[in-house]
Amino acid sequence: MRKIELMAVALTTVTTGWLQATALLTWEFSGINSAADTPTLTKDTLVSTGGFRRGAGAITSGLTRPEAWGGTGFSGATKADSILSDTCLMFDIIVGADVLLSLDSIEAPWFGYQVSGGPGGTGGTLYGQWQYSLSNGLGWSDIGGETGLLPFGYYDWLSLDLKSYTDLQGITDATVTFRLLLWGGDKQGNTEFYFGKDTVDPLPGLSDTYPNSLTINGTVITLFVPEPSAAFLAIIGAASLLLRRRHL
């Protein structure tokens, strides 16, 4: 039976290579009016998620931008500070043992907002590092390197390529958790960071034609393990009976 399962996995892995990546999870930010609101989720039926969440060090007090999801308090000096204080934004995608998943990309609008002085106001320069975990957060792997994020008050379009990360291809029975570590913000906690578009003070940098949502793209397929046919079982039974008679 194990050989049959392995053959099924191998066949399905080849099959997923022919599939075109589609939206597996999409969180819509339009309609969010406070930090307590949850983005509207649209998903493929073969995947699930624990949703969006903030690290323990990322706070929501005083968040000022509706129709976007994020946090503040990213005032550590280094990546190590962000890890220690758990100042990050997280989300995940979950598949069962009967599903094979390969991840392609994460796409979303994002922006920073400096409360002191409004959009583009003075403050710390925000830095970030994307990571993923396949061990429920017990171990993390970097996606790319540390990067200085966009100037505050300007949108950008996130397109995070995941195709070259072999750990994220052909996986089953797993929870893949993504987090964005953030640090270097205003020491007073006035540096806000969001996924979504600033609908209050729209500024140059991102076309209104882009969706106000975060999407995880990839391929997903149900694993097919063929069941032995009645004829095959009859042959196996007859062979077993003959072998038993020979040993009598």
Most distant CA pair in the chain, distance: 93
Which tens digits make up the pLDDT trace of 86-144? 999 999 999 999 999 999 999 998 887 765 544 444 455 688 999 999 998 889 999 99
Backbone angles phi, psi at 161, to 5 degrees: -80, 125
Query: Hey, is 26 helix, strand or coil?
Result: strand
Q: Is the pLDDT of residue 14 over 70?
A: no
Residue 110 is predicted with a pLDDT of 84
Residues 6+ positions from 157 with CB-CB distance below 8 Å = 107, 108, 109, 110, 206, 210
What is the distance between the alpha carbons of residues 238 and 8, in angstroms, rounded to a whole number?
26
Q: Return the percentage of the chain with pLDDT > 70, whole number.
A: 70
Residue 55 is predicted with a pLDDT of 95
Give the DSSP letter string of 29-60.
Answer: -TT--STT---EEEE-TT-B----EE-TT-B-
For the chain, how many residues are written? 248
What is the distance between the alpha carbons of residues 183 and 92, in angstroms, rounded to a whole number?
21
Distances (CA, A) of 206 to 32, 86, 114, 154, 180: 20, 29, 18, 8, 21
Contact 201, 128 (CB under 8 A): no
Which of 25-29, 90-94, 203-207 is predicted least confidently?
203-207
Q: What is the mean pLDDT of residues 52-69?
A: 87
Q: What is the CATH number of domain 2-246?
A: 2.60.120.260
Q: Strands 53-54 and 127-133: what pairing?
A: unpaired
The residues spanned by each domain of the chain are 2-246
Give the DSSP letter string of 110-158.
Answer: EEEEESTTSTT-S-PPPEEEEEEESSTTSS-EEEEEEEE-PPTT-EEEE
Q: Is the pLDDT of residue 228 over 60?
A: no
Distance of CA 79 to the CA centre of its chain: 20
What is the distance between the alpha carbons of residues 197 and 208, in angstroms, rounded to a whole number?
9
| Predicted TM-score of the model (pTM) | 0.79
What is the distance between the alpha carbons of residues 53 and 137, in angstroms, rounded to a whole number?
13
Closest-CA residue to 128 (of 56, 65, 70, 168)? 70
